[in-house]
Amino acid sequence: MSKNMKPALKTIGVVIALIVVLIGVVTTVFVARSGMLTDRGPDQLTACTSIDGQGKSGEDILIDRERSLALVSWLDRRTQGLGTVGRIDLTAPDPKIENALLADPPEFRPHGMSLFVSPEGQRTLFVISHPPAKPHRVEVFEANAEGMYEHKQTIADPLLVRPNDIQAVGPRSFYIANDSGAKGGLDKMREMVFGAAISAITYYDGTKFSVAFDGTASPGGINASPDLSTIYVAETQASKVTVFKRDVATGVLTRTGAADLPSLPDNIDVAADGSLWVTAHANAIALVQQFADPTKVAPTQVFRIPADTLKATQVFFSKGDLISAGSIAATLGDKMLLGSITDKKVMLCKAPA
């Protein structure tokens, strides 16, 4: 071996050692942040009955409390098939999922939803859609006299980067939680492993999009206080729900506080009393595994957060046998509806005290 090769081999050895160390650090951090190693204790359940999803899951659910109706983002998320919006009459003796739309817009794959009710009672439904191999959209519907929703408008824009959830604040205005701001593989690793805050909340004022707040960690859920002055954002990779004050004139958001969680928050429901019901993923690795393998399950965890104290209390926990990969808990009086990313059912439960 020549003298010139020895330094080169040493350099290669150092590089390989650094790569091994880096992989070890990344793996350790990811496993620790995923919740895989955290003992969540026994199930914390309440009385529940199952509503058949008819081959689809309900990733997002919202409640029209005046009409005692639930609207369900209804789609088989394991396939590239199309979906719709369903509705559940919560006063029915045997609740089931029925169609809520007069007709589906083209290539409709629903995700996050929001309902705006005007002072006159006009209901406008906003639904994020991910058409196969096409740009993301927001589909806008209005309720007719019979309570069915008719498609009125399709909105698309480059600022719909990775729309996950939506919060309406007017008959044509809304906020979007983009769950990623990654511009490449390195950015994606920073988000997933280290919780890098590189995602934006965007605002649509009825005419154009703008950035309302830049610097959130993969927000997976968004909602608002009953008076629409405060916006709540579930920063999934930061394990917290962040509170923002809203500038009504510009749409700009100002951070004012946060509620820390021991898990990865997803969708937020704001109850009639103004409290936040946040569904979270207690084990991100199990979540990924069950998405790839339908025979596996992932935990479903629900927290209640009073808006005045921002102190989270776990009120429901299932290791995944009752409902797997839960993503939303929505309440109406003493009822709680649980939806899932992939589990093809909705659970109608007694709301935890």
The per-residue pLDDT for range 219-245, each reduced to its tens digit, is 999 999 999 999 999 999 999 999 999
Concatenated DSSP letters of 78-92: TSS---EEEEEETTS
- 56 and 24: one domain? no
Question: What pLDDT score does 26 carry?
Answer: 41
The C-alpha R_g of the chain, in whole angstroms, comes to: 21
Q: What are the φ/ψ torsions at residue 215 (nearest 5 degrees)? A: 125, 45
Q: 3-state SS of the chain: helix, strand, coil percent to 5?
A: 15, 45, 40
What pLDDT sits at residue 10? 59
* 80 confidence band (pLDDT: 50, 70, 90): confident
Residues 71 and 17 in one domain: no
> CA-CA distances (angstroms) from residue 145 to 95, 153, 265?
22, 19, 36
10 with 154, same domain: the answer is no
Q: Do residues 6 and 71 share a domain?
A: no
Looking at the 3D structure of the chain, how many domains does it have?
Answer: 2
Beta strands in 23-148 (DSSP E): 48-52, 57-64, 69-75, 84-89, 97-99, 110-117, 123-129, 137-143
Confidence bin at 41 (pLDDT 50/70/90): confident
Tell me: pLDDT of 1 over 80.
no
Indicate if the pLDDT at residue 169 is higher than 70: yes
For residue 311, give the DSSP letter: -
Per-residue pLDDT at 342 exceeds 60 = yes
> Who's near 13: CB < 8 A, 6+ residues apart?
none
- CB distance 245 to 253 below 8 Å: yes
Edge-to-edge, what's the strand order for the sheet holding 84-89? 57-64, 69-75, 84-89, 97-99
Task: Tell me the percentage of the chain whose pLDDT exceeds 90.
Answer: 82
Whether 105 and 195 share a structural domain: yes
Asked if 99 and 47 sit in the same domain, the reply is: yes
On whether the CB atoms of residues 74 and 110 are closer than 8 A, the answer is: yes
How far is the C-alpha of 135 from the C-alpha of 101, rounded, in Å? 22
> Dihedral sign, CA of 187, 192, 198, 204?
positive
Here the CATH number for the domain that contains residue 166 is 2.120.10.30
Predicted local confidence at residue 13, as pLDDT: 56
What are the angstrom distances between the C-alpha of 107 and each of 131, 179, 227, 317? 5, 22, 34, 35
Looking at the chain, the whole-number percentage of residues with pLDDT higher than 70 is 89
Q: Are residues 28 and 42 in the same domain?
A: no
Residues 126 and 24 both lie in one domain: no
Per-residue pLDDT tens for 119-146? 999 999 999 999 998 999 999 999 999 9
**What range defines the domain where residue 14 resides?**
1-34
Cβ atoms < 10 Å from Cβ of 67? 15
- The torsion region of residue 320 among left (phi > 0), alpha (psi -120 to 50) and beta comes to left
d(CA 232, CA 259): 10
How many angstroms separate the CA atoms of 165 and 157, rounded?
Answer: 15
Say whether both 222 and 338 belong to one domain: yes
Residue whose C-alpha is closest to residue 222's, from 194, 204, 202, 195: 202
Q: Residues 159, 81: one domain? A: yes
d(CA 170, CA 82): 28
Residues 4 and 90 reside in one and the same domain: no
Q: Are 29 and 147 part of one and the same domain? A: no
Alpha-carbon 87 to chain mean position: 19
> In which band, very low, low, confident or very high, does the pLDDT at 29 lie, cut at 50, 70 and 90?
very low
